[in-house]
Structure 1
Amino acid sequence: MIRFLRIGAFILLGLCVLGGAGIVALQVAISRGAFTAQLDRALENATGRRITYGAIGVRFGLRPRIALSNTAIANIPGGSQPDFARIGRFEVTLALVPLIAGRVEIDSLFLSDAQIILERDAEGRGNWVFAAGREASSSGGGVSIASVEIESSRILLPGSPVGAIDIDTLHIARDTPEDPLELDGRIRLDGEALTIAARLGREADGALPLEAAVSGDGLHARAKGRWPHGMDTAGWSLDLDAEVDSAAVPRLAARFDRTLPPLGSLSLSARLGPGSPWPAMSDLTLRVGATDLAALLPGLRIARAELRAESFEAPATISAQGWRGTADLGLHATLPPLRRIMEEETLPIEATLTSGRARLDLSGPVQRDFDLSGTTFEARLTTPDLALLGPVPGVALPRMTGVTANARLRGLFTRTMQFDGLAITANALEASGDVRLTLAARPSLTGQVSARRLDLDALGGGAGASTVRRGAATRVIPDLPLPVAMLREMDASLRVAATQLVAGGTTWRDVSGTVALANGRLTVDPFAVTTPGGPVGGRLQIDASGAVPRVALRLDSRGRGLDMAALRRAFGVPAGFQGVAELALDLHGQGATTRALAATLSGEAGIAMVGGRFTGATALRIGPDLIRALLPRGTPSGGLALRCLAVRLSAENGVASSQALLMEGEFGRIDGSLALNLRDETIAARLLPDVRLMGVTVRAPVTIGGTLAEPRIGVEPGAALAHVIGDTVANRLWRSSTVEFLRGATGSTPPGGDCGPALTLARLGRAGTMPEAAATPIPLVPREIQGTAQEVVRGIGGLLGGRRR
């Protein structure tokens, strides 16, 4: 028995040795090409393609494996390249039992260092679909692949937006042809590393059930539906969802040669369906998360934005919410259908921007890349109050109600916006012009504006008037803040004009000026305006760059001068002068309020009038008493004729003194000296009326003291002066001729002299009209008949051959 066992063992060992030797001999024979022709026919029959290869190795067993190197698989007829694939290493593991039965079933396929091209022929058949060769097809055979493993390879996609897919690892498998195909791996899409997973069911009605997910650095995408065999296959659909975080957006845009502003996170959802040449799309929604657009426009932020389209053929809509500064912003826009956006270069757009109750409607053509910098929109703005829009440009805008504005707008959502053909109507304004607004840390405004009507009182809300009334009991100069806040917030270069301007309850006409504002320094030079009494012009400067604003004003009357009666009627001032006066101002000071500005006022001011009449009224509360003191005989109902009126005041640091103070007429002459302390509004004056009574000149000094609000007559000059001088100007003022006169230290004629020199001083040195020389009064002839007597004397002189004078 033992012997038979030993014989059986030796026989079995011999068979194994013979079998192993046979396998080795077969492998050597295959490697030397003994079966190359048969293998080529078998591969061609299995794939329907011509396959060439280099070295070949075979491993026998229950799962025979064939390994090929430098393999090339032919492409389908009409392919862009002759080879469907070129593979550095190609391994095929076969199923043994089907192979014994004459069928080729590939258990697994391994590719490494491969380059594969995926494309379709003219009939839409993909080159990745392998059909059996002639022999196999005659018997109904084919090829079945259970799994595919790919490493370190590349897939080319000609004609696709994505040119190539680099595969790090990719595994494709299904147990039987009826089972779903499962895919997972790591790939690089144009350099973007992605992890993919998909499940593809068996084809039915030209489509395959699909579930897929793709994830990468900052992005996730999902697809579910029926993947088409061809894009024109009926009945397929695919639901897509994708999210991209804010860091991945610019990176992905750059891979598609696009440049986007720094957007927040993106999410996309859509449904794809049959269509040609592009798939049909429906239920598209693109959302943008919170985005800081300060690089595009300082302070601009978007909370969210959304693009919606029912289909490629339906108009798309955009909505967004955000803010700039403290102003909330909203956007709603209607776009053309997405198919037009993809095919046409210029697209018509209608949009509405809102901020609170303000609304801006826009319409115009936009380039397909949505670059708005060169687009011109027809724009219409409506807002219940312009001040509500101040936070949008970042400046404090005045209150202006019922605003409607139209313009051609360029540069929307850029740093520089141009408003051409601007037309504004509001409760306080009707204007037109061309304006450019530059939005930066300091916004700037340039251009030209012409207003038919401008009501500054309505813009200011009347706050100034109430302030004046409250302070009128003790002070005359109101304590109003200077409007310098806006000067510190923006720059401007404007030519402005207004046909009608309302300010202080008074209508001004033909206002014009050139405004230059930079870094808090405002210059209006030149400016001109027609007051109720006549035209004036000059130059205004406000320097608000420092802690304390500085103001300088030069103002001169133009033409014949100012109609005093018209000014009295317009401003309600009871001072009774009739005639035409010349005005000259050259003043400067500093302070944040009108009262602080007056307390530092320096410069010159003068008023000169030739001819006219004095009616006797005065703005001072002591007016009636003062008139009786200056003109004992009173003022006739028709007033008194004037030869001249000349007043010039010189101010330094809020203390003003007269350099000329003269009124001369048929009543005689009144001159004197005046000092004002604008810091506390105290007054000191001594007036010398040279009044002729029955041909005799009467000189009776009149002194005034107290304050502008409460002046008093007959105050002792020294006591009045004590209220005027301050410690910073006491010495200068004490040495002046005005003070000497007030002290009564001299009996000289007060500064100003007669009409000629006094008028020259009042005009600040400029030449002007002078009155005719006054006739010598006839002694003992009453003032009331001096004119008639002078004519009689001149007539007698003529008869006697005398010289008229």
Structure 2
Amino acid sequence: MLRVLTWIAIGIGALIGILVLTIVLVIAFFDLNRLREPLSTAVSKSLGREFAINGDLSADWSWTPRFTINDVELANAAWGSEPEMFTLDRLAFAVRIPELFKGRIVLPEVRVSKPHIVLERNPEGMANWEFGDKKDKREPAEAPVSERWVPKIGSLAIDDGRLLFRDPGTDTHLDMNVSTVVGESDEQAVELSGRGRLQQEQFTLKVRGGSVLDLWEENQPFPVNVEVEYGKTAAKVSGTIAEPLELEGPDLQFEAKGPDLAAIASIVPMWIPETPPYRFSGKIKREGERWLLKGFEGSLGDSDLTGDLMFTMRDERPYLQGDLVSRKLDFKDFVGVFGADPTPSPEEPERPRLLPDKPYPVEGLRAADGDVRFQSGNIVTPWMPVDDVSVHIKMDQGILQIQPVKLTVGFGAIDSDVTLNARGDKLQTEVKGKIDKVPFKRLAAGTPFEAETAGTFYGRLHLSTAGNSVAEMAAHADGGVLILMEQGRISNLMMELFGIDFAESLQKLIGTDPSIPVRCTIADFIVSDGVLKTQLFLMDTTDTNVLMEGQVNLATEALDLRLTAHPKDFSPFSARNPIKIEGNLKKPRPYPEPAPLIARGAASIALGALLTPVAALIPWVELGLAEDSECHALVDAATSKEKIPDKERKRQERH
């Protein structure tokens, strides 16, 4: 029985051996070129585009056979700029057969000769790498791909590769060389380098990675180095990635510099204002789907910035979050936010207007979302002293909220909330502001009048408008502005200059310059269809009462104001003619009005006529002034409300 079983086993073994030998002999002598046609047909049908293997297929058989494929072509889209999207002179690779039975693809050697790839979009935005009928093609459910089926390449050699990218929609044309180079320890590293054009600017790119063996080595971070130049803008990213196939565990150093941040607006979808030259650096990390820029620091003109930034995709939209701090903020470096040029050229002709008219790109304002905070305790401004500034910006589906913008001035503050709605073709903007306990002496810092000034400013501002530039917003603004100051003091010389009292002004200039008390200052303006009108402007001092009336056309920037000073003392050479202020916002033109001298009694008549509009200030703004303040005394003395446009009165009643 045992002998019979032995002979049966020998017979089965011999049969298996003969079968294996037969398969080996068939494969060894089989002409692989017979597979060219069925392989080409199968790939063509799968991609919906002509694919062909025009050259020979050959194999050197062993337990690690080496295959060679020659002359491969993949047709381009019908609208493509070249007939073929992909061509290849030769592909040679070796496969370890035993590893296939373990569920792994191991390629000890891969050599690619003259690969030529054309990636492009047409003017309608279609991409040639989108295969088949996109309308009828359903997106397949994404299934996780096991790392075991990702080919593990031992040696990779790319000879004379070329990659072209064209996109007429962004005016982009790139021509890149792809090759492998011998690095340290004779390891082959992949290198991609080339140049082209992007938005009319020259673009160069150089990418170098580590050895392909490092892609699968555990506990062996993959080194990368990327250098980009776009016009005069340059950026560099260098470091390592722990899991390069999944882009996990990056430990990268980022550096960038250039003449203007707005130059990269063609690369990123967000609106970026014009800036002076900048230089930034930081470390790039990743936590899940969040990309972090840690230790961000650098300079922007004469200002500096530090902090942390985070980028991710939220609801399929780019989302930016950050906290930035400036140790020194020079206002002129950030005027691009308002549409002004931060680096004007001396050769450029001077603009006749003060308000910037450069339009905001509405699409860029709604292209991304975010939440960014900014703070600085060292501010340089040309128009008023500011001790501290803090800004909180939120962007959500085209709604931009800057709430609050807080400026600290001395022991007081100027707070404002700004909302911009960019969901339509025109920006809808609303600005609400509050002036709270701002000291007059701090505002007069650095002037000849600083020592003699005192007092506290309060105020409210509420404007709404539509327009895509600061100038257009001003031209269509509606709302009101109110500023009060009480319990102050002002330079006597300043008041005499208001009244053009040459005799007393000369006396003050030669001798001492004492200050005089200011009982109350009220500046009440209404804005309707871009015209700012004085509802009431009164400065009540123990020496002089100053009144102003008129308007400022914010659309044309034309001034039409009349300033009158009514003295409470006697000056033998007092020529209290009204002062006319004409010209425009950029170049005001004040001059004495050629009219007869105004009698001293006119002061009381004018004040009596103009005091009554004060009554309307109470329901519009509550400033928290003490009941016994001088301004309240003026308000209490009023007996009727001012006449204002119906549109503005309804606005005040609503707010």
List aligned pairs for 1:33-432, cutoff 5 A. Answer: 81=16, 84=19, 117-118=23-24, 128=25, 183=31, 186-187=34-35, 192=39, 217-220=51-54, 227=60, 240=68, 242-246=70-74, 264-265=86-87, 281=109, 287=115, 289-292=117-120, 303-304=175-176, 306-308=178-180, 314-321=187-194, 326=199, 328-338=203-213, 340-341=214-215, 344=218, 347-356=221-230, 358-367=234-243, 370-372=245-247, 374-385=248-259, 386-395=261-270, 397=272, 398-410=274-286, 418-428=291-301, 429-432=304-307
Relative to 1, partners in 2 of residues 1:668 and 1:552: Cα closer, same or farther, differing over 3 Å?
same
Amino acid at match of 1:527: V
Amino acid at match of 1:552: E
2:390 corresponds to: 512
Q: How far off is 1:552 after superposition?
A: 2.9
Q: Report Cα offsets for 1:397-426 as digits up to 9, x if no partner.
A: 4334241321324499xxx87234150302
Q: How far off is 1:628 after superposition?
A: 1.9
> In 2, Cα distance between the equivalents of 1:557 and 1:188?
81
| Conservation of the 8 A alpha-carbon contact between 2:205 and 2:227 | yes
> In 1, Cα distance between the equivalents of 2:373 and 2:582?
43
> In 1, Cα distance between the equivalents of 2:316 and 2:216?
38
Relative to 1, partners in 2 of residues 1:411 and 1:358: Cα closer, same or farther, differing over 3 Å?
farther
> In 1, Cα distance between the equivalents of 2:563 and 2:460?
24
| Conservation of the 8 A alpha-carbon contact between 1:523 and 1:542 | yes
> In 2, Cα distance between the equivalents of 1:359 and 1:562?
44
> In 2, Cα distance between the equivalents of 1:325 and 1:521?
30
1:751 corresponds to: 610
Relative to 1, partners in 2 of residues 1:515 and 1:316: Cα closer, same or farther, differing over 3 Å?
same
Q: How far off is 1:336 after superposition?
A: 3.0
Query: Is residue 590 of structure 2 the alignment partner of residue 711 of structure 1?
Result: yes
> In 1, Cα distance between the equivalents of 2:580 and 2:617?
26
Amino acid at match of 2:432: R
| Conservation of the 8 A alpha-carbon contact between 1:284 and 1:309 | no
> In 2, Cα distance between the equivalents of 1:184 and 1:688?
105
1:208 corresponds to: none
- Percent of paired sites with the same residue: 12
> In 2, Cα distance between the equivalents of 1:345 and 1:244?
38
Partner SS, residue 750 of structure 1? helix
Amino acid at match of 1:514: H
> In 2, Cα distance between the equivalents of 1:555 and 1:548?
23
| Conservation of the 8 A alpha-carbon contact between 1:395 and 1:486 | no
Q: Report Cα offsets for 1:205-244 as digits up to 9, x if no partner.
A: xxxxxxxxxxx9423565889x57776xxxxx97956454
TM-score if structure 1 supplies the norm length? 0.53
Query: Is residue 290 of structure 2 the alignment partner of residue 433 of structure 1?
Result: no
Q: How far off is 1:266 after superposition?
A: 5.0
Relative to 1, partners in 2 of residues 1:331 and 1:292: Cα closer, same or farther, differing over 3 Å?
farther
Match of 2:406 among 520, 528, 545: 528
Amino acid at match of 2:621: L
1:651 corresponds to: 527
Q: Report Cα offsets for 1:528-548 as digits up to 9, x if no partner.
A: 122478521111234455555
> In 2, Cα distance between the equivalents of 1:603 and 1:377?
52
> In 2, Cα distance between the equivalents of 1:551 and 1:448?
25
> In 2, Cα distance between the equivalents of 1:400 and 1:305?
34
Q: How far off is 1:524 after superposition?
A: 0.8
TM-score if structure 2 supplies the norm length? 0.63
Partner SS, residue 481 of structure 1? coil
Relative to 1, partners in 2 of residues 1:406 and 1:265: Cα closer, same or farther, differing over 3 Å?
farther
1:176 corresponds to: none
| Conservation of the 8 A alpha-carbon contact between 2:309 and 2:323 | yes
| Conservation of the 8 A alpha-carbon contact between 2:491 and 2:514 | yes
Structure 2, unaligned runs of 5 or more:
1-6, 43-49, 77-83, 100-105, 122-126, 131-164, 597-601, 632-655
Amino acid at match of 1:332: V
| Conservation of the 8 A alpha-carbon contact between 2:270 and 2:368 | no
> In 1, Cα distance between the equivalents of 2:359 and 2:493?
35
Amino acid at match of 1:192: L
Amino acid at match of 1:449: L
> In 2, Cα distance between the equivalents of 1:714 and 1:595?
30
> In 2, Cα distance between the equivalents of 1:465 and 1:246?
52
RMSD: 5.5
> In 1, Cα distance between the equivalents of 2:560 and 2:369?
41
Relative to 1, partners in 2 of residues 1:685 and 1:649: Cα closer, same or farther, differing over 3 Å?
same
> In 2, Cα distance between the equivalents of 1:598 and 1:469?
23
> In 2, Cα distance between the equivalents of 1:313 and 1:276?
28
Q: How far off is 1:304 after superposition?
A: 4.1
Q: How far off is 1:618 after superposition?
A: 5.8
2:442 corresponds to: 566
Amino acid at match of 2:624: A
| Conservation of the 8 A alpha-carbon contact between 1:272 and 1:279 | yes
2:624 corresponds to: 767
Q: Report Cα offsets for 1:763-802 as digits up to 9, x if no partner.
A: 833322466579xxxxxxxxxxxxxxxxxxxxxxxxxxxx
Q: How far off is 1:363 after superposition?
A: 2.5
> In 2, Cα distance between the equivalents of 1:242 and 1:573?
88
Q: How far off is 1:651 after superposition?
A: 2.0
| Conservation of the 8 A alpha-carbon contact between 1:322 and 1:329 | yes
Relative to 1, partners in 2 of residues 1:438 and 1:449: Cα closer, same or farther, differing over 3 Å?
farther
Partner SS, residue 294 of structure 2? strand
Query: Is residue 351 of structure 2 the alignment partner of residue 452 of structure 1?
Result: no
Q: Report Cα offsets for 1:642-689 as digits up to 9, x if no partner.
A: 222222112212333333333223326445644444445232436462
| Conservation of the 8 A alpha-carbon contact between 1:381 and 1:404 | yes
| Conservation of the 8 A alpha-carbon contact between 1:287 and 1:304 | no
Quick check: 351-360 or 311-320, which moved more?
311-320
Relative to 1, partners in 2 of residues 1:318 and 1:699: Cα closer, same or farther, differing over 3 Å?
closer
1:40 corresponds to: none
1:498 corresponds to: 375
Amino acid at match of 1:749: G
| Conservation of the 8 A alpha-carbon contact between 1:290 and 1:301 | no
The structure whose Rg is larger is: 1
> In 2, Cα distance between the equivalents of 1:655 and 1:230?
88
> In 1, Cα distance between the equivalents of 2:624 and 2:321?
38
| Conservation of the 8 A alpha-carbon contact between 2:385 and 2:442 | no
| Conservation of the 8 A alpha-carbon contact between 2:215 and 2:243 | no
> In 1, Cα distance between the equivalents of 2:324 and 2:217?
42
> In 1, Cα distance between the equivalents of 2:477 and 2:630?
37
Q: Report Cα offsets for 1:367-409 as digits up to 9, x if no partner.
A: 36x233x453423123233444333224564334241321324
Structure 1, unaligned runs of 5 or more:
1-49, 51-73, 87-115, 119-127, 129-149, 156-169, 173-182, 196-215, 232-236, 249-261, 718-742, 775-805
Q: How far off is 1:273 after superposition?
A: 12
> In 2, Cα distance between the equivalents of 1:438 and 1:753?
58
Partner SS, residue 290 of structure 1? strand
Q: How many residues of Structure 1 are paired with residues of Structure 2 in the alignment?
A: 529
The structure, 1 or 2, with the larger RCO (C-alpha pairs under 8 Å, 6+ apart) is 2
Relative to 1, partners in 2 of residues 1:751 and 1:544: Cα closer, same or farther, differing over 3 Å?
farther
Q: Report Cα offsets for 1:444-489 as digits up to 9, x if no partner.
A: 53444333344452355545798999467xxxx6142256237645
| Conservation of the 8 A alpha-carbon contact between 2:282 and 2:293 | no
> In 2, Cα distance between the equivalents of 1:577 and 1:288?
76
Relative to 1, partners in 2 of residues 1:376 and 1:353: Cα closer, same or farther, differing over 3 Å?
same
